[in-house]
Every structure is written in structure tokens, then in C-alpha cells.
Structure 1
Amino acid sequence: MLRTAPRTLSVAVALVLLAITVGLALLTWQVNANSEQSLLRRQLAQIGTLLESEATILQVQLADMGLVAVATDADPEAFARIADMQVDATGQSLSLWRVTDGAADRLASQGTPPVLPEDGADSLAGLQPTGELVILGILSGEPDRLAYALMPADDSTNLLVYAEAPLPPDRRLTVPEDSPLSGLDLALYLGDTVDPEQLLQATENAPGDDDSEATTVPFGNTSLTIVGAAQVPLSGALSAALPWIVLGVGVVLALAGGTTVEYVSRRRVVAERLAAENERLYRQQRGIAGTLQHALLPVVPEMSGLDVAARYVAGVDELEVGGDWYDVIARGPGCCVFVVGDISGRGLPAATTMAALRFAVRAYVAEGHDIEVVMERLRDLLDIEADHQFATVLLGELDATAGRLRLVSAGHFAPVLVAGGTATLLECPVAPPVGVSAPRPVPATVVPVGGAATLLAFTDGAVERRQETIDTGLERLRAAAAATGSRPLEAMLDDLLAELSSEGNKDDTVLLGLRWS
């Protein structure tokens, strides 16, 4: 039998196709490596965003404690009430100090006793009233602690709030399997360098130098360095195995090289889209609430003849923005239109509806419409059947010069009027909420308000409690308003929040105060 040698062209085509296959395999490996590094950097950026948000939360918490201490003249009981919530939730050590003549004296303490840095209270005496979160370093102990403090941005005060947060045992961080951080080796350092002495916490397998990424984010007056490495392929096991798949398929089926490249490209696009979607959802939960809340909380105007102040306290679920809102629109000396409302539900739908209604009220008032007309036009903007939402709204027009208050309510509580040492819950007809069809418009209620007085509007978070009737909550608010009515308006609202705060309250709370003489 004659043996026929392979044709030169067949060998050449086979060699060319094999070379293309090898090249594609190498390209796939490089693309996957780049994708892994990109996904790792994205994960570290998400962690950095979370840590920056945590620093802001710590600063706000300490600032609130400082403001309460200033408003109550460093009353230990008032400090204890607001500090207990943080101590119970986090196991922190919280204390209130007064700095006098370069020395710091402790006035009150909650939680575990403070350890203090090596130079003791002297490290606190040098703080300045900037209102900025100051990180004082890591304290050795059982367990180790992170020390930080804040002095309210008020040159007239000499009070500061000092806190110590416990670090995990052996500074090791346990990551649950269902956590977005699962599959990562992480280490967190205080400062902008990787210093083992400044390690705050790390996973069981600390990241090494190979294939690791690092990023630095601001944290109070210092910064945090995050080092991370992937334990498993971030884009999935299939993406990691693609180079071998391409090589195997290319060797066996050289003619399918083009199809394999297309498959690899599609897998890469899918992996990047999944990473982008994961980042969007994560940032939405951790970051969008604070951005949207700025649209909810307008700056109250300074008005001739009226003193205006407002407070907003989010519920315990800080991952979603709420639907409570308020606004005050000046109409002249001693005259304004105010609104307080609450959108059903939480999250992005509630925030967008809230913004729409708030700016709609401003637009209708700017056009010169009366509050009854404004309320009826709001009903055209929301339909519970189509939007699956409704809103309770209280609209008021106050003319302190004429001594007249006009109110119209769509499912919302009437305000409290404080005058002459007494507090009265005003009465006005309540129409169905905005979004629910109403049989006919309800005329505004006119209330005479001659003489000096304070008007307090609020949302349901100030009065509703589990296993308690609403009448009990309204009476508690009325009594607290009567007891604090002689205080300055800002201090009055702070005292009311301290009195009305409830552990475990998941609803937002708005207090809007207007005072005239």
C-alpha cells in the first residue's frame, strides 16, 4: 500500500490555525487577568465608598451628641439618653468632656470605661472646635480600640465628645458567605501607608503582595488604606477557565476559532455588565440615600417677623431614603406658606415622588395660587392606582401680622399651637390623602393666632409607636411642646426630638417650627 504524504497546504493551514488558536488563548488569558484586576479595583472602590459613608455617619452622630450637650449645658442625663442608642448597638465607649485652660475633664460616660491614648486627657485638650471627626489612633487593650473625638464647630463651647470603638478580636474580620465581600482577602490600615502597627482589621487570609490592589480614602482628619486580593475568580470560574477552553476547542476544532473568539468577547461583556450592575445596586443602597436626602431637606428661610427652624431624623433603616419632607415659602414680612408631608413607602420611588410634590408646591405657590387650589392640583400629580403610592400633606398659610392661620389637610395631622404656656392640637377637616380620589374639595380652616405663639408641624414618626394608640402619641407630643415652649426655637426642637425619640423607630421624623411675637 502506498503511503501518501500530507499536502503542504493542509499542513500549512493546520499550523496557521493552531498559531491563531494559541494566540487567541493567550489573548483570552490577558483579558481575563485585566478583568479580574478591574473587578478587584471596583470592589475596593465600593468598600472605600462604604467607609467614607461610615466616617460621615460617625461625624454626624458625634456632632448630634455635641449639639445636645451644648443645648442642655452638658446635662449628663441628656447625654446618656442619646449615647445609649449608640452604645447598645455598637459596644462603643462614649464620653463627654469639657476643655478648660488646656485641661480636659470628663463630665459623663456611657458604655465601657474609656482607655484614653498614652498621654491621657492631654490628647483631648488640644482639639479645636471645627466640627470635624478627629481620629486619635489605635489603643491597645482587651480588645484593642479605635479612638476618635469631635468638638462641635462653635467657638463659644468648650465641650467635646470622645468615643472608643472596639476592634475585632486579633483584628480579624469574619466575612459571611452571602456578603458582597465574600471571596476577597482584605486588610484595612489606619493612615495612607501599609503599616502592620496600624492594622485595623483583616480577613483570616490577609492579602499578600502578589495580585493585590490598594486604595486610600479619607476618614475624618486622616485616611484609611484598603488592601485587597481575590481568593477566587471574581468574574466566575468559567471566565477563569476560558483560556484552556479556547485552547482545547481550537486544537480540536480549528475552524471554530472565530466562534470561540466571539464567545470570549461576549463573556467579557457579560462579566463587565454584571460588575457594573452590582456596583450600581451597591452604591444605590449605600450612597444614594444621602444624595437624595439633600433634595428633601431645604434650607429654612430667614424671614422678617418669623423665626423658622426644622429637624429631620431618619429612621433606623439608613440604607433607604424616606418619604418625609417639609418646606417653607416666604410671602412677605411675617407671612409664609408651609408644607409638611409623608410619602408612602421608602427608597427611590418615595424620594422621587417626594421631590416632585415638593417642587410642585413651590411652583403653584409662585404662580399665586391659594393653598386650597395648590392641594387640589397636587391630587392631579399622583394616583394610587397607577403610581401605587399616596401622600399625606398638610398645607398652611400663616400671616402673623394679621393674626391668621389657614390650614388644609390631606390625610395629615394638624399642627400644635403653643401660646401662653399651653399647647393645643389644632383641629381641621381631613380630606383623603393625595393620590386617593376625594369627592369634593375641603375648604381651608381659619385659626386666629393673635399674640406671640409657636406653631409646630410634624410627621407620624414623632407620634406613632408600636403597640400604642395614636392618641397617646399625640398627647405625648402636646405635653412635650407645652413643657419646652419657652425655650428658644432651635433648642425647643432639639428637646422635643430627645423626648420623642424611640429605640427601634423605623419611620422618619420631621419637626417644623414657626414662631412669631
Structure 2
Amino acid sequence: MLTKAPRKLSVVVALVLLTITVALSFLTWQVNANSEESLLRRQLAQVGSLLGNQAAVLQVQLSDMGLVAVATDANPNAFARFADEELNDTGQSLSLWRTADGGAEMLTVQGVEPLLPQDGPESIAELEPTGELVILGILPGEPDRLAYALMPAEDNTDLVVYAESPLPPERRLTVQEGSPLYGLDLALYLGDDVGPGTLLQATVPTPVRGDTETTTVPFGNTSITIVGSSPEPLTGALSAALPWIVLGVGGALAIGGGATFEFVSRRRLVAEGLAVENERLYRQQRGIAGTLQHALLPVVPEIGGLEVAARYVAGVDELEVGGDWYDVISRGPGCCVFVVGDISGRGLPAATTMAALRFAVRAYVSEGHDIEAVLAEVRKLLDIGTDHQFATVLLGELDTSAGRLRLVSAGHLPPVLITDGRARLLDCPIAPPVGVPDPDPAPAAVVPVAGAATLLAFTDGAVERREETIDTGLERLRTAAAVAGSRPLDGMLDDLVEALATDGNKDDTVLLGLRWD
């Protein structure tokens, strides 16, 4: 007996179902591949953000050392004290050079002896006073080192800060669990050329295998090329196997609809996962910016007869470093000079200017200048016409034994004095900000401060709010300071941070408190 051939309609239905199944499987594979590429690109972008912040830190550190050298006329002891804080037995080499007549002479060195580039001091002598981090290349040695340098952006300077950092043995980087680099196969190359001669470090043998992504990020005057891949599926093992699941399940007519629903559901989960990952990356980048800002701010000193505390609160919805800063310099028991300032703008230019002004103030104070002279010297470092930046600065000199507080302000709000449970905003003439010409500088305001008191200096982020006058913000701060004034100083500042916090405040805030009996 002959078997009947399948009907044409059955064949057509089978072919249509098979075509739909194959199409769904291919679409699932394509979406999963796109998700893998997107997540890998995000991971490499995060690595690039870390490298960019590291370049910013190196530039600020070398700029600080250069400014100290300029301010102290290349004093080897001052350079040694500052460089010693950066070394900490890391195998680095930090040296100070003076350039002249196309050559360069090493003035002092901290850490190990430098290897120097192939053309020797001539490469150092070619630097220009731009204040930009300059990468001089990879130097062969035991171990190999990365050479970089910076010439401060100062007129008529001939000083260069030169550094060499050791590269890991065999260029192999060990990544700890919990690091943003953990779980990725990465290789970092100096410049755009990807080859053994430009390899800085890698987590696996090079070249990196698998489906790779490449990104390039600025690093000083050059760039770093990041090549990376993921040995494990970033979307998860189940998502990677989903195309085969759809193909197997879609072969049966009874569960064809269920396979389609499974595909849609899986894609929704991947989309939600991408949203969560994006939020995590955003928080981490904000944390990096905040960490860099805190690294640029000083630790408050211990001064006999004075209690000092400070708080820095980063503005929301910002990923760049801000320009708010403070410093306290001891002049003996019960006596100090303090400064609070705010640089216009954000990012690396603001951070670099902030560091320059902070260390300039510290250098001039250490030379014995009074606060009027310090402010006059600082005004020479910034010009809004050429630097396109300005800074508000409040300088104060407190002497509790004499019961006297002296203040000078360049565009900055005066501090609040708290005594006997009452708080008042001090009267202080306000001159134009640093960077804006001041043809007739005002003398320092003198405030008697006999007896126990607390002084609170702040930046405008503590009082400025959208759609309200500055007087309203100042009164809010004065009232909150009077209420919290009886608390211990650290507790008082914590209470003020909480009382002044508002949603949507994008400006950074600095609170600096000084208390004496």
C-alpha cells in the first residue's frame, strides 16, 4: 500500500514555521552579540575613565611639585619633602631639572636614579612651559619604566619636573577581584600603535584573543589604546545559549509561540540589565571624580589651642572635578592662616588652577607674608582675559592669644562667627575676584574675637539656591549655625551639611570650622 505524500499546505506550514524558527534564532543571536559588544564597550569606557583620571592626578601632582619648585627658587629640600610624599617606596624616580641653552641639568632626584630617554637631557630641554603632562616614552631597564615630565605654566620659568614609573614585570598586570578590570582580558598600548614595542601592561598574553573591542583615550600629550575582550559572556551564560534554545524549541509547532514569548522576555531582561549597569557605571564615575577631588584637598592640621574641621560635599549630576578648596596653615599655638576659595568652571582646568592657587598661598604664607601681601601675589597668577578663569578667595589670619581676626576677601562671602549661642555674618570689604583687576586693594578687616567662639567659612554652594536671593541663603546658614553651634565641631559641620542639603544642588560645597576657648 502506497503512503500518501504530505499535502502542500502541510509542507507550506512546516516551511513557514521552520523559517520563523530560524529567523527568531538568528535575531536572538544578533541581539545577544550586540548586547555583548555594548557591555564590552561600556567596560572599556570605564577603564578609559580611570586612565583619564590617573592622567589628571599625574598632571596635578607634577604641576604642584613644579609650582613649589618655582615658588622656592628650585630649593632641593622643599622639592625633596614634597616628592617624598609621592614616592612611598614605589620604585619611582622624581627629579627636578633646569633647562638652558638647549640642554638640561638635574638639580635633585628622589627615589631611584633616572634612566632617561635615548637622547638624554635634550628631550627634557625641548619641553615648553604649558603645564601639560608630556609622555616621553617607554624606557628599557630592569624593570622597564614609563617616562613623563611637566614644565609649569609660569612665565620665565626654566624648571622641569621629570618622573619615571616602573612597569610591571613582563608587562603583566595582576587584577584583584572587585576591581573594574576584573574578568576582562585587557592590553594597554602607548599611543595609537598596537604592538609589542608600545605595550604598557596587559592582564593576559598579547595579542588579546577573542572578540575584541578597541578604544583610545587621551593621556597627557598622547593617548592610550585599550584593547579588550571578555572570556565569559557579559550578558550571562543563559543569554549566550538562548539562540540554540530558540532553535530547539521553535522546531516544534506546539511551543513556537512560547519560544517567541521567551525571546521577548529575555530581551527585556537584557535591556533592564543594561539600564542597571549604566546606573552603576554612572555612580562609579561620580565616585572617581569625588575621590580625585578629596585627594586634592588637604588634611586639616592639629594646632594647639584650636580645633579645626572641614567638610567637602560634591554637587549632584556632575562627573567632573570641581574647583572648591580650603587650606589651614599653622603659625604656632592658637594662631593660623586659613583660606577658602572657589574656581570658576569644572574639570581638569579648574582642578589645576585650584592646586596652583592653594600651593601658592601655602608657599607665600610659609615665607612670612601677611594675608594682604599673599592675596596681592596670588592675583598675579590668574588673568581672566588670558586664562578664561577667575577665583573667589577668602583669606583669614586668626590669633586667639591676641584676640584678633584679620580678613581679606576677593569676591568671596565673609565667614560666620558664633559666640554665646548667637551667629552673625562678619563685615568684610569684598574686592574683585582673583583674575579680575583690582586697582585699589582694600585693607584687611580686623575683628575682635576675645573669648570662646567658633568661626565658619564656606563656599557659595552652601547658600546659593535656584530662584531665591543670596540673602535668603545666608540667613538660612546663619540660623542653622546658631542652632548647631553648641555641638562638637565635627557634629556641628555634619548637622550643617544635612540642614543645607537640597535636591538638585549642582554646586560643590566647602565648610571650614575653627573653634577656640
TM-score above 0.5: yes
In structure 1, the residue matched to 2:478 is 376
Residues 39 and 234, structure 1, Cα contact 8 Å, conserved in 2: yes
SS at match of 1:201: strand
Q: Say whether 1:334 aligns with 2:442.
A: yes
Cα 1:336/1:275, change in 2 over 3 Å: farther
Query: 2:161 matched to which residue of 1?
Result: 161
| CA 1:202–1:75: 2 relative to 1, 3 Å | same
1:254 positional shift:
2.1
- The structural deviation recorded for 1:5 is 7.3
Cα deviations across residues 163-193 of structure 1 (Å, max 9, x unaligned)? 0000010111122233222222111111122
Separation in 2 of the partners of 1:255 and 1:32? 20
Unaligned runs of 5+ in 2: 294-319, 326-340, 345-356, 358-370, 379-392, 396-409, 414-428, 432-440, 448-454, 500-509
| Residue 152 of structure 2 corresponds to residue 152 of structure 1 | yes
Deviation at 1:435, TM superposition (A): 6.9
**Identity of counterpart residues, as a percentage?**
49
Structure 2 distance, partners of 1:93, 1:2, is: 92
2:342 to 298, 309, 317: 298
Pairs aligned (count): 376
Amino acid in the other structure paired with 1:273: A
Which among 249, 257, 260 is matched to residue 259 of structure 2? 257
Structure 1 residue 268 corresponds to structure 2 residue 270: yes
Structure 2 CA distance for aligned equivalents of residues 64 and 95 of structure 1: 14
Residues 191-246 of structure 1 deviation map (CA, whole Å, 9 limit, x = unaligned): 12213211111122334475212111111111111111221111111111111121
TM-score (norm 1): 0.63
Query: Which position in structure 2 is the counterpart of 1:47?
Result: 47
1:32 aligns with: 32
CA offset at residue 137 of structure 1?
A: 0.6
The 3-state SS of whatever aligns with 2:412 is strand
Change in 2 beyond 3 A, CA 1:244/1:190: same
Q: Which residue of 1 aligns with 2:313?
A: none
The range that moved more, 355-364 or 274-283, is 355-364
Per-residue deviation, residues 339-385 of structure 1 (Å, max 9, x unmatched): 8558xxxxxxxxxxx86414269976557x9x7x56434569xx9xx
Residue 282 in structure 1 maps to residue 390 in structure 2:
no
Tell whether 2:92 aligns with 1:63. Answer: no
CA contact (8 A) 1:96 1:161 kept: yes
Distance 1:89 1:248, change over 3 A: farther
Show CA shifts across 1:127-168 (max 9, x none): 111111111111000000000111111122211111000001
Contact 2:136–2:147 (CA<8 Å) still a contact in 1?
yes
Q: What is the distance in 1 between the residues matched to 2:495 and 2:464?
A: 18
CA distance in 1, matches of 2:198, 2:374: 52
Q: What is the SS of the residue equivalent to 1:74?
A: coil
Q: CA RMSD in A?
A: 4.2
1:239: which partner in 2?
A: 239
Letter in 2 for 1:157: T
Given that 2:210 and 2:231 are in contact with CA atoms closer than 8 Å, whether structure 1 keeps it comes out as no
Tell me whether 1:307 sits opposite 2:351 in the alignment.
Answer: no
TM-score (normalizing by structure 2): 0.63
Judged with a 3 Å threshold, the aligned counterparts in structure 2 of structure 1 residues 304 and 73 are, in CA distance, closer, same or farther, namely: closer
Helix, strand or coil at the partner of 1:328: coil
Superposed counterparts of 1:26-425, under 5 Å: 26-88=26-88, 90-208=90-208, 211-252=211-252, 253-287=255-289, 290=293, 291=320, 293-294=322-323, 298-299=342-343, 307=375, 328-329=412-413, 331=430, 334=442, 340-341=456-457, 356-359=461-464, 373=475, 375-378=477-480
Tell me the alpha carbon deviations over residues 66-124 of structure 1, each in whole angstroms, 9 at most, x when there is no partner. Answer: 11111122121211111112111643110111112322111111111111111222221
Secondary structure in 1 matching 2:154: coil
Match of 2:423 in 1: none
Distance 1:299 1:233 in 2: 45
1:506 is aligned to none
Amino acid corresponding to residue 35 of structure 1 in structure 2? S
Aligned to 1:513: none
Secondary structure at the counterpart of residue 108 of structure 2:
strand
Structure 1: distance between partners of 2:101 and 2:260: 79
